[in-house]
Amino acid sequence: MRFMGFVLAIGFLPLAVVAEPVLDEQETEMAAWIDAHVEDAISLLEETVNIGSGTMNHDGIREVGRVMRRELDALGMETEWIEMPPEVNRAGHLFGRQTNGTGPRILMIGHLDTVFEADDEFQAFERDGDIARGPGIADMKSGNVVIVYALKALQAAGLLEDVSVVVAYTGDEEKTGAPLSIARRDLIEAGEWADVALGFEEAVRYDATDWATIARRSSSSWTLTVSGRQAHSSSIFSESTGAGAIFEAARILDGFYNEVRGEEYLTFNAGTIQGGTDIDYDPQQNRGRTFGKTNVVPRSVVVHGGMRTISADQLERARAAMREIVAANLPHTDATIEFEDRYPPMAPTDGNRRLQLLLSEVNQALGRGEMPALDPSRRGAADISFVAPYTDALAGLGALGEGGHTPNEEVDLTSMSTAIKRAAFLIYRLSQESHQD
């Protein structure tokens, strides 16, 4: 049985039948506090959404960081703004810490940046009844607020001191800085410290069911560079000229499609291609220019693409297969492929499954039914993947949102209360488990 069969066996079985969960006295108290303060949470959401913070808008990200630092300071946490060095070219990260608790060590992950840069027209919070729209409102400023108010609810009930918490708000989740050894160093160190990592990007609900995220696929990139022998087109395919760079690139891409494609949860995309006599391609801007003539055999091709996998093993298998195809060159051509790691996979594990079952009990106690494990192909990569190798992890704990990365991005404000309760009760129950141990 190949790897993915094992994953399905441990990660996506139906939930076991248990007695109907109920809220205890402490949770009931927290629920009342959350309901009484949900409009305060929405006000904080509005404040942060109205601060533009596209990844390259460093001033905006720092301003959102100042707002969220104010909230963490009010909780009594030790806060730190971690500035990135110039070579990373990113604003930095905000961390808040309370690490003297006797209970489980919990890492709560959000991010301050959005995909909407300063010159984008989509810049403001707008509310229409129970729906609010705005840049980054679902991905993920609502999740940032859920983190704060879950901790406030625990504090109001006298329960926050029972846990050790690190809140990590990264400033470049949408376009991660490089090198990753610097850009994600502090987050990975927090993951190595934690017993549990919780990610607060938007929740998923469809078919009248809430879904728990116990796995996410990786996100990495690849660059194919092909060269051929420039010559008059009348001599193409001859022994002296060969196939040319574009035919060689077409052979390779066809090989990827027919020989590498097909494994469950593996996808790869050729996002852009430049080919001709002379080419100029900027991978940072994903833009290029090309020049060629129909009567000239082209000498250069660059293809830039992305890849997503469910595990490190799957990623390496796919890369090995692609390298083999690239190496079988047509006459008088040469090709190389380079891979760049971005987001690692968050593989489904028994520990993640345990968190899912606990969250499902919370969801049932809230009258919302069981929470099965979401198909990982329905979610993109996220910062929680960097810490998943070191700790049990659960993602998708934010509010219900739609239209992420588009001018139609919105959040169902009625889901804010639910998301805050789920997070607070999950942390509380984890702390109760540690006391029982």
- E strands, 123-260, where? 126-128, 131-133, 164-170, 196-199, 204-206, 209-211, 219-228, 231-232
Q: Which CATH superfamily is domain 19-216+346-436 in?
A: Zn peptidases (3.40.630.10)
Per-residue pLDDT at 95: 98
CB neighbours of residue 97 within 10 Å:
17
pLDDT digits 0-9 by tens, 228-279: 999 999 999 999 999 999 999 999 999 999 999 999 999 999 999 999 999 9
Q: Which amino acid makes up residue 206?
A: Y
Biggest distance spanned by C-alpha atoms of the chain: 84
Per-residue pLDDT at 286: 85
| Comma-separated ranges of CATH 3.40.630.10 domains in the chain | 19-216+346-436
Residues of the chain where predicted confidence (pLDDT) is lower than 50: 1-13, 15-18
CA 240 vs. chain centroid, Å, equals 49
Per-residue pLDDT at 102: 84
Per-residue pLDDT at 12: 45
Question: At 264, is the secondary structure helix, strand, or coil?
Answer: coil
Q: Which amino acid makes up residue 391?
A: T
Per-residue pLDDT at 437: 57
pTM assigned to the model: 0.86
Sorted by sequence, the CB contacts under 8 Å of residue 342 that are 6+ apart come out as 176, 180, 218, 219, 220, 221, 381
Beta strands 204-206 and 196-199 are unpaired
Bridge partners of 337, per DSSP, are: 224
- E strands, 154-293, where? 164-170, 196-199, 204-206, 209-211, 219-228, 231-232, 267-276, 278-282, 287-291
b/e for 15-52, b at 16 or more Cβ within 10 A? beeeeebebeebbebbbebbeebbeebbebbbebbebb
Bridge partners of 340, per DSSP, are: 221
Fold of 219-343: Alpha-Beta Plaits (3.30.70)
Question: At 268, is the secondary structure helix, strand, or coil?
Answer: strand
Whether the CB-CB separation of 52 and 128 falls below 8 Å is answered with: no
Question: At 374, is the secondary structure helix, strand, or coil?
Answer: coil
Query: For tokens 């070191």, what's the residue?
Result: 390
Per-residue pLDDT at 435: 61
